Amino acid sequence: MKQAKLKSEYIHVLDPLPYTDSALSPVISSDTVGVHYGKHHKGYVDKLNKQLEGTEYSDMSLESLVIETAGKPDLSGIFNNAAQAWNHTFYWHSMREKGGGAPPAKLKEKIEASFDSLDACREELIKAATTQFGSGWAWLVQDRDKIKVMATGNADNPMTSGMKPLLTIDVWEHAYYLDYQNRRADYVKAVLDKLINWEFAAKNLD
Ligand code: MN
């Protein structure tokens, strides 16, 4: 019986990085990527698979798990690991080698309609990322016709409040401490100016 049940369970896999460990260097070193992806991100996926064993949630996709378990204290273990697994894959894709610059026209127009300018949007992202107390994430999201900036704490994800994530920056200390020590603002600015993948964000628009 157990065997049959286990066979139908959804095994979540660690998504491959969209580039090599050193592609983001020197903004984010290969040492940081190695620990962040190979230990932290992998750890969330491994813990999630353990927690799902034999539960009614074992057949759900990662995205469904995030939405279905959000805000339920008795399921916080599953939520935290599922959301962290989802957020990290989204974060890796939010950056690219030689990123930064200007967004594709359709995203740039939407940003300029929602903020005074692209630079104002950049400033809001920096503010959200640097004022998030403790661990969390800064996000560019789509809320119907509007583009917005928001921050979430710990593992939280904008999908659980009905927003469509476009890109994210991880502001947990493990994302920047090896390269920037406590200088979170320097990490965030460098990511936005040199690594951010606007093409990925544009692809995520509805
Ligand atoms: Mn992280």
Phi and psi dihedrals of 137, rounded to 5? -145, 145
Q: pLDDT tens digits, residue range 52-74?
A: 998 999 889 999 999 999 999 99
Q: What is the CATH number of the domain that holds 79?
A: 1.10.287.990
Query: Is residue 193 located within the same domain as residue 118?
Result: yes
Q: pLDDT tens digits, residue range 137-191?
A: 999 999 999 999 999 999 999 999 999 999 999 999 999 999 999 999 999 999 9
Q: pLDDT tens digits, residue range 119-139?
A: 999 999 999 999 999 999 999
How many Å lie between the centroid of ligand 1 and the Cα of residue 25? 17
Query: Is residue 63 located within the same domain as residue 153?
Result: no
Query: Is residue 61 located within the same domain as residue 118?
Result: no
How many Å lie between the centroid of ligand 1 and the Cα of residue 204? 21
How many Å lie between the centroid of ligand 1 and the Cα of residue 173? 8
Q: Judge whether 100 lies within some domain.
A: no
Our count of domains for the chain comes to 2
Query: Is residue 57 located within the same domain as residue 79?
Result: yes
- Residues within 5 Å of ion ligand 1 by Cβ? 170, 172, 175
Domain hosting 81: range is: 3-20+28-93
How many Å lie between the centroid of ligand 1 and the Cα of residue 3? 34
CA distance 165 to 183: 25
